Chains A and B, each alone.
Chain A
Amino acid sequence: MSEHNNEGCFFRQQLTDQQFPNNQELQGFEQGQCYIKGYLTNEQDVCKQLKIENGDQQALLNAALKYWGFEVNKHLYGDYVLVWLNREQLLVTSSARASFTLYYQENNGLALATDLNRLSDQGEATLNQAQLLQTLALGLLAGKNTCFEHISQLQCGETLIWQLHQSIELSHQYRLTHAEQLKLAQRNKLPTAEPIAPRVIDDVDLTGLFNQLPSLAHRLGEPITDVALAHFDSLVQASKSDTLLLDCSWLTARNVIGEQLFHNNHRWCKDILRRPLLQQRKQLNKRQKQLFTAFEEEQNEQQESLSFSQWLDLHYVIPAWCKILQRICQHYGKTLINPYIGSEQIMTGSLTEGVTEVVSEEITEMKQADNQSLAYFPLQQISLANVYDAMQRLFHVGEPGTLKLFNLNPAVTGRLVRRQTDDLRRVEQLSVFLLTFDYLARFHPGHFN
């Protein structure tokens, strides 16, 4: 495995007039050089193949780009995002199933950064309400959009090339198919790393966890979707090693979407959404149709026997979850080694602890019991540091922006908490999302109001 790079990078080129053709800002890398965030696992093989002296990563990356061009991510194995810049072009690419994230903003020029805050703090970021509704309805799904308008993220296995003239143009866009990505990811030899502690929720300090949520939201620059992320954050902070191996118990904390629930997923929290968010339903439905069509097309091509929810889990939920776990590690200067999940593991059900797909009444009951056990905060414990109580307090102390988007009427939130006792984890997720959203609105009013 190559050395890890934990330094961030930032690039910005604004649209300029002819008097100032080179209005570029660069941090973390230079023109004519490659920037890599993450690690390679076949560095020695590629060195041999390209006849490069082993150990000179910059020479290797330059030679690999020259040799394979925009298909470089098919030949460099590992988990990374790569940026290459010269006077005329900017190329960005990511490995198959990359858990590292690169953000870019195509608004009045081009900007890219490994840290979301670097772009959202530029002052032009506004909230992407359609994405907000999607996250509330479906949870985290891998995709191009972020919670801000105009800020996108490079998708796994995607390559983009911009021509940097006075008008900046995206000249090339290519993405590895899901099948290609799985095939390439399986070729990765997992580097040695300290396994991170498994997810055990019995002995967690809930007050500490509750108080960790705002600082995590601030570091990530977006609302938190699950308490498990704060739990993971505390364990990463306590770990001693710089390279951590992801324990599969952390993957079971993800929000798995059942097939039947996919089309009416937001109904359970519909009462809590106000008009600006409800108006985004068309876009949510469109996105759901897109995903379903993509699933059907892939099934026809590959004759795979994954169900829709398994397919969604494999290609959208797990990658998104791994990305956010990696971002948490990156904030401590640590690297997370991601054990890639293949379709076999999904099909055998070794990772489906939280699936809500309806199979039979008995199984549904069992799974609902699982869901309850997965919730961190007990519903019947009234406490200052309890997410349900804190969500209801937002009615009294919430920000205008939050109250404009969410109907935090005590009667509505009280009914939600009372009636959703069989799906407590989803109420917990909603509460955490609302609380961290409101927190960000308080201290970044320009973005979240």
Chain B
Amino acid sequence: MSLTAPPVPYFFHRLRLAYSGLHPERVHSLVKASDPVEAVRMIETGRVKVSPAAREAVGVPAERRMEELASSGVTVALLGTDSYPPWLAAISDPPDLLFVRGALPTLPGVAVVGSRRATRYGINLAKAVGAAVGRRGAVVVSGLARGIDGAVHQGVVEAGGRGLAVLGCGLDRWYPVSHRRLGEALLDNGGGVVTEYPPGTVPEPWRFPVRNRIITGLSRVVLVVEAAAGGGALISARLGLEQGREVLAIPGDIDRATSRGCNELIRDGAMPVLGTADLLDLLEQEGIISQLGAGHRGFGPGDAEGGLEEAIGEAGATLEVLAERMGWPLTRLLVSVGELESEGRITRESGVIRLKKEHGRNG
């Protein structure tokens, strides 16, 4: 919807409430107790205790907020209107407002999530999944976080697919900052970036689990690529189940902490995915992707952000593989590898470079 024509009652007040910075659940209960107008008044009069900054933020007139949003290219989708995705509206606690940059999808997508502290195994899988699904035209939803999320988006971008990133902060910033270019690439490819938080909201740890319900809510299928026990990705899986989404997981080594979450999900009934073909089959059954248009393309160069050591990974890597993963010019890579070696951080044997401190698993 466009900001020039606010359609439903209380839009202005809902918008002002969003700027309060309160937990969405808290806002929701306030609104539920009376209505948005009353909720704003309660904050303004101090009957609801909030920080002075929050009260001040709520006090800013909605017209000014809308001007700000319009000038920064952000649109707002309001729950209950046509522009709001109905499958998101159907979850138990949908956000009242969605701040949107780029496009909102017209169909439910595929959530692909996982640990921020991912292994190279997980990163590769995430990229491959993002590329495979993106290439088939489905919307790939993730959180633009470090690790798996970022790799998923990267895969989508490289395959020329459409991705949707759900942020845990305002649209006036990127978190992590290093994923700024990735986020912009998503937008350039016709994807979108959304959040329930108004511009100016800084990333705080508690906001991320909350936004996970939007990631799953915007999707019909939730795939957990790699997750340790008790990670945020498992929260997404649980939310997905509660929202009636199909939850899938990619298995990993049973003795590795980084695979524990996924393996437990599978034990508890999540469908194991043993490859992109598996996943695409399921997506076809779910009607998320059509069976046509399965064109295949090679992958592009790797993520230039990740560090070289991360690219070497636990299993070690050859120079060819590193060149691909880093996407660097060869001489730059060789000099960097030489530096790591001079610092005694890697060993080389038979062309395979391994991190020294890790007890490398041999292939």
Q: Do A and B come from one complex?
A: no
